Structure 1
Amino acid sequence: MATPSKDNRAHHRNKAASSSPPGSNNEPKGPEGDRAELAADDLIQWKRHIEQVKAELLEQIQGVLGDLLDKAIKESVRSYSSHSRVLPDRVANAAKTNRDHRMEDGKVFMARRSVLDELFEINHIRTIYHMFIAALMVFIISTLAVDYIDQGRLVLEFDLLFYAFGKLPTVLWAWLIMFSYTLAGPYHALTLWGGLYHSSSVPGVLSLGVTLLLGALQACVLGVFPIYVVVRYQLPPASRFIIILEQIRFLMKSYSFIRENVPVIINHKPQKGEAPKFPTFSSYLYFLFCPTLIYRESYPRNPYIRWNYVAVTFAKILGCLFYAYFVLVRLCIPALMNESIQPFSTRTLVLALFHATLPGMLILLLAFFAFLHCWLNAFAEMLRFADRMFYKDWWNSTSFANYYRTWNVVVHDWLYYYGYRDFLWLSRRRFRTAAMLSVFIVSAMVHEYVFTLCFGFFYPVMFCLFAVFGVVFNFTMNDKRKSPVWNIIMWTCLFIGQGVQVCLYCQEWHAQIHCPRTGKSFWELVIPRSWSCN
């Protein structure tokens, strides 16, 4: 639609000015007045033009949407009429088949970005991120100032950081052994069993033999060997975390690989001279590095790698590492060391707990951002892995049930598909509560196993928080809670829980150093030293 020309608008203005009475507002106002009136007239005409274009577009869109809805209604009516003619027994059989196969449906991967990557495009959210960076700068400046006042020098010392990541060569060769076995063992065991399964006269005996052999290898290489390395070489805490977490990751990856491919091979209908289709070695190798614990032959991939994104993401991981170091050195250790010097009492325990609340919450947020966002996104970018849903908006949760589902989607998917749903399938969907409790117990035991080996002492704080309080909160603060008040309650519980963990683990670490064990009896190993250390 064309707008009126400037000559026509000027002609109408001159005509109106000539017909207006003397002294009215339409008298000529000079060149500047004419230009101002022309600009105002252009703006009015342009607004009218935009409104007309808007009306036309809305009419066109409404027409297209009406056609689409009419088509959808006709197709749904046709589909309903065709299905309504199905015999009742066929309907019942189809419903039963759907119920039987519903448990076999797995996770669907799709190209999507991480939540924080989308949120950081909003200026308000990015400002909160900048506030955390500013807090890191304050930590660095305060540390330099205190060192200069106390010791007269401007040097940042990272002795605790170097100690925590000590003996990295031992970590490297132990990791290479675990990775080499995980790459070769499960894959060749699957291809060996799959090649003989349909031609064997005793497939059950063959399956049992291969299962026992693979189980023994898994127990030796991915079970006993990492524990032996951690204990024999007395690795420091961060190095222990690397070994133990990689041990669990390789166990979960290899189980997913076997679990996804065994039903395919068993259900394969072999033709004459046709061998079952095995997963390719390259897809298994890619799976061992891609940031997911659910095996697929292929995943949605991005067209290219953004190397600048990878570099910035690894820089963020390094920043989070130094951030956590300053939180421990400036906030956590001084407060808890002062409290541990005093005689043990309820007052000192409560003060230590609330002194550790803020550092504990900061460490939780740093661990989430460094690992679940930065580390997984960095590897996803290098491998062009397109599904970046490693977590969801857990911070908006109004229930602990939703928090457990959205905090760590990678691990939750594995527990859901291979723990919860397989338990329901084996029990024919009769014990939902037992399935949920079993997942909680397994998760609690694994968390306690990690902390026990990494810290070098048994103190079941994590197990109690998961297996007791986690179960209670999961059933009491369920998905029916929608009020924002429950979000405040959830955050309050997280603050207190993190304070409990940091407080008790730091006190036990301090007690293990100053009150070493005098013997190696069972009770001395399982009773925390902080209960009796003075």
Structure 2
Amino acid sequence: MLGEPYAVIMLHTAACRQYVYSCPQKLPFGKHFWFVCRRYGILVDPIQVVSLFLKDPYSWPAACLVIVSNVFIFVALYTERKLAMGSISEKVGLLIYIFNLTVILCFPMVVVLKLPSITPVGGAFALGVYTILFLKLYSYKDVNRWCRERTQVKARSLSRSLSCPSSPSVSSRMQSHVSYPGNLSLRDMYYFVFAPTLCYELNFPRSESIRMGFLLRRLFEMLLLTQLLVGLTQQWMVPIIRSSMKPLQVCSSALSSFVPNHLIWLIFFYCFFHSSMNFVAELLRFGDREFYRDWWNSETITYFWQNWNIPVHKWCLRHFYKPLLRIGAGKLLSQSAVFFASAFFHEYLVSVPLRMFRLWAFMGMMAQLPLAWFVARFLRGNYGNAAVWLSLIIGQPIAVLMYVHDYYVTHCQDDPTISEAL
């Protein structure tokens, strides 16, 4: 499985060579890239990326915002300890959690919208951290509540099984086995916060040791692919985006952006879900390495969304979809609710950092519902797989150009320096 993402990118590259109408000049994508280099020169500037995060070198607003997130972690841990001791009731604990989780989403949004020194990239990074923390603490709340309920129902049987090990091997396992409420420690909490998972467990699967060779390979991939992403964006995507600001160039720019946008997305997927998450997992000796499945073989839209981001899929299944089914909601309603929540977070992570609300990301996600029905109903096999790939190759560039265009009109149209550059 380690080599499969490499194969996907190479197959995509080979297929793109046949996509000769992806730009106004009707050039294959390699020649189009060379054409952009000749026309605009070498635009790659790694130092320029730093300015996307920091305007003032003495002010790190996004980093400070991330550091403040520790307050919400302490509130969640303190609440769980009080619930375990019986100092507060379940209703009071639930109210504290509702307040804490609501503030986790609202506080960074207000700061990003009101603080001009936070750039769109810095704001997106901070909001991404808070969104992950929201999902983690929600899972933390649910699992500890399940432990309390199980303890109340099976207190006698659990105490008997834990106090009477039958063999030395069982005894040795119990020494490392954590049971509730022994998991309510600062170390356990922060291990979960940094672990590459959104679903909390009292006892995560752990590897025996850190493999330095594996760790260094993932680190090398992260550094190399990050530079490649920056270079492709500056050299290939930026000129296309600039040309899209000119009259009568929007359609041709959209066609030209299909290939580079999707190639950048594929490289980002590998860098984040394979290199970065495996690096963190190896560093923490985290045993569960299933971060993605074979989404590139998807014959339905539903299969794609279930397999391209396993941590989010597991969270939605465990803490959202199945609880809705248990309270009597139908399967279709539960699936629609999951897509609605996903659409909300997509829009939250895009519109707030850009400081504009256009709902393109939200509508794009909600459009997946009828598209999923259509593909599952009328397309099979390779035709379904082609429909999935077309939705990825065409949908994302259009959404990117729509946001870039609206951002330019909203924030940059009156700036003569930016207008001349475009």
Bin for the TM-score computed over the shorter chain: 0.7 to 0.9
1:480 CA displacement: 8.8
State the secondary structure of the residue aligned to 2:51: helix
1:421 CA displacement: 0.5
Does the CA-based 8 Å contact 1:377-1:388 persist in structure 2?
yes
Out of 70, 92, 95, the residue aligned to residue 212 of structure 1 is 95
Q: 1:324 to 1:155 in 2, by over 3 A?
A: closer
Separation in structure 2 between the aligned mates of residue 310 and residue 142 of structure 1, nearest angstrom = 35
Bigger relative contact order, structure 1 or 2 (CA pairs below 8 A, ≥6 apart): 2
Does the CA-based 8 Å contact 1:144-1:155 persist in structure 2?
no
Q: 1:193 to 1:289 in 2, by over 3 A?
A: same
1:247 CA displacement: 0.4
Give the CA RMSD over aligned residues.
3.3
Structure 2 counterpart of 1:438:
337
Q: 1:472 to 1:145 in 2, by over 3 A?
A: closer
* Residues 118-176 of structure 1: per-residue CA shift (max 9 Å, x gap): 547xxx949939x89xx9xx99x9699759x96xxx99533541222226833323212
Out of 277, 282, 296, the residue aligned to residue 381 of structure 1 is 282
Fraction of identical pairs, as percent: 19
Q: 1:182 to 1:249 in 2, by over 3 A?
A: same
Out of 353, 368, 382, the residue aligned to residue 484 of structure 1 is 382
Structure 2 counterpart of 1:35:
none
* Residues 211-266 of structure 1: per-residue CA shift (max 9 Å, x gap): 2233323333x233312332314311221121001101111111101101102212
Structure 1 counterpart of 2:199:
294
Structure 2 counterpart of 1:333:
238
Separation in structure 2 between the aligned mates of residue 285 and residue 503 of structure 1, nearest angstrom = 39
State the secondary structure of the residue aligned to 1:478: helix
* Residues 4-48 of structure 1: per-residue CA shift (max 9 Å, x gap): xxxxxxxxxxxxxxxxxxxxxxxxxxxxxxxxxxxxxxxxxxxxx
Structure 2 counterpart of 1:187:
77
Separation in structure 2 between the aligned mates of residue 118 and residue 357 of structure 1, nearest angstrom = 25
Does the CA-based 8 Å contact 1:303-1:384 persist in structure 2?
yes
Separation in structure 2 between the aligned mates of residue 439 and residue 377 of structure 1, nearest angstrom = 27
1:303 CA displacement: 1.4
The one-letter amino acid of 1:229's match is: V
Q: 1:400 to 1:291 in 2, by over 3 A?
A: same
State the secondary structure of the residue aligned to 1:356: helix
Q: How does 1:432-471 map to 2 (within 5 A)?
A: 432-467=331-366, 469-471=367-369
* Residues 441-492 of structure 1: per-residue CA shift (max 9 Å, x gap): 111011001100122222221111101x201122222399542122122212
1:372 CA displacement: 1.2
Does the CA-based 8 Å contact 2:81-2:184 persist in structure 1?
no
Out of 147, 151, 161, the residue aligned to residue 49 of structure 2 is 161
Q: 1:480 to 1:187 in 2, by over 3 A?
A: farther
Equivalenced residue count is 372
Compute the TM-score of the two structures, normalised by the length of structure 2. 0.79
Structure 2 counterpart of 1:279:
183
Separation in structure 1 between the aligned mates of residue 320 and residue 96 of structure 2, nearest angstrom = 23
Q: 1:234 to 1:143 in 2, by over 3 A?
A: farther
Separation in structure 2 between the aligned mates of residue 445 and residue 127 of structure 1, nearest angstrom = 29
Does the CA-based 8 Å contact 2:9-2:267 persist in structure 1?
no
Specify every segment of 5 or more residues in structure 2 that has no aligned partner in the other structure, as ranges. 18-29, 160-178, 416-422
Separation in structure 2 between the aligned mates of residue 126 and residue 474 of structure 1, nearest angstrom = 22
State the secondary structure of the residue aligned to 2:151: coil
Separation in structure 1 between the aligned mates of residue 139 and residue 390 of structure 2, nearest angstrom = 36
Compute the TM-score of the two structures, normalised by the length of structure 1. 0.63
Q: How does 1:59-458 map to 2 (within 5 A)?
A: 115=1, 117-119=2-4, 125=7, 128=10, 157-158=45-46, 160-166=48-54, 169-178=60-69, 180-196=70-86, 206-220=89-103, 222-231=104-113, 232-269=115-152, 270=155, 277-281=181-185, 282-342=187-247, 348-427=249-328, 430-458=329-357
